[in-house]
C-alpha cells in the first residue's frame, strides 16, 4: 500500500512524517503520472485558491477526479475546501467530490487560530481529539450520502461539522498532522486498505 501526498503547497511534509511514523509507504505528488501507483491520496492545507491554480497549471484536476472513482482521498483544511461541491463565501472551482458546503476562513484570520477538543465518532466508537484550527473553514452542510464523523461545539451557536466522509472521500477542517495523535490518519489508512482489497 502506498499513499500519495499532494506536494504543491502547505504542510505536506508533516503528513508524510505521520505516515512514516505509522510505517505506511508514501510518495509526494507533483504531476499526474505519480498518482498511478497510489492507493490513496492526501490533499493538505494551504491556500485553497492558490492550490486550484497550481492543480490547473499542471493538469491534475481531471486525474484527481478520476482517481477518486476508485481510490480514497483525504483533504485537510484547504484540502477539504477543494474536495467540496460548494463554497459558501467564494466563487471558485472545486474538485466537487463530496456533497458539502464549506465556508472559507470561517473562524477568522490566522491570529484567530485555536485548539479545541473534538468529539469524533469513528467506526461506532467515540473519541476525543485535539483539533488544531488555522484559518479554518467550516462545513456548513452535507448531503444525504455524507456521514458526519466529528463536530466542534462552543465556538458558535450549535455544533460545527469538522470531519465528514462519503464512500471515497474524507474531509477535515482541522490539521491532524500537527498533533502526535495518529487517530484520524489511521482511520484514513484503514479506509484505503479496505478499498484496495475490493
> Rounded distance, CA 16 to CA 8, Å?
14
Active-site residue flag, 38: no
- Do 43 and 76 touch, CB atoms closer than 8 A? yes
- Do 30 and 7 touch, CB atoms closer than 8 A? yes
Local structure of 191: helix, strand or coil: helix
Residue of 38, 103, 175, 185 marked active site? 175
Local structure of 150: helix, strand or coil: strand
- Do 24 and 1 touch, CB atoms closer than 8 A? yes
- Grid cell for residue 166: 462519503
Between the two ends of the chain, the Cα-to-Cα distance in Å is 13
Contacts of 125 (CB under 8 A, 6+ apart): none
- Grid cell for residue 197: 482489497
Residue of 77, 103, 138, 165 marked active site? 77
> Rounded distance, CA 109 to CA 130, Å?
20
Residue of 103, 138, 165, 177 marked active site? 177
Q: What are the residue numbers of the active site?
A: 77, 175, 177
Amino acid at each position: 500500500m502506498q499513499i500519495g501526498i499532494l506536494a504543491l503547497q502547505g504542510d505536506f511534509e508533516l503528513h508524510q512524517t505521520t505516515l512514516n511514523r505509522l510505517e505506511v509507504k508514501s510518495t509526494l505528488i507533483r504531476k499526474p503520472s505519480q498518482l498511478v501507483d497510489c492507493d490513496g491520496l492526501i490533499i493538505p492545507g494551504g491556500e485553497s485558491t492558490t492550490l486550484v491554480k497550481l492543480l490547473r497549471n499542471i493538469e491534475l484536476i481531471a486525474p484527481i477526479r478520476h482517481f477518486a472513482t476508485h481510490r480514497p482521498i483525504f483533504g485537510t483544511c484547504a484540502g477539504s475546501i477543494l474536495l467540496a461541491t460548494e463554497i459558501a463565501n467564494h466563487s471558485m472551482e472545486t474538485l466537487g467530490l463530496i456533497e458539502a458546503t464549506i465556508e472559507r476562513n470561517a473562524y477568522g484570520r490566522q491570529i484567530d487560530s485555536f485548539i479545541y477538543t473534538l468529539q469524533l465518532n469513528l467506526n461506532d466508537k467515540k473519541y476525543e481529539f485535539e483539533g488544531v484550527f488555522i484559518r479554518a473553514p467550516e462545513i456548513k452542510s452535507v448531503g444525504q450520502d455524507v456521514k458526519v464523523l466529528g463536530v466542534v461545539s462552543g465556538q458558535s451557536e450549535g455544533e460545527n461539522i469538522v470531519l465528514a466522509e462519503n464512500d471515497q472521500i474524507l474531509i477535515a477542517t482541522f490539521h491532524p498532522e500537527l498533533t502526535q495523535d495518529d487517530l484520524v490518519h489511521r482511520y484514513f489508512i484503514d479506509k484505503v486498505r479496505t478499498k484496495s482489497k475490493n
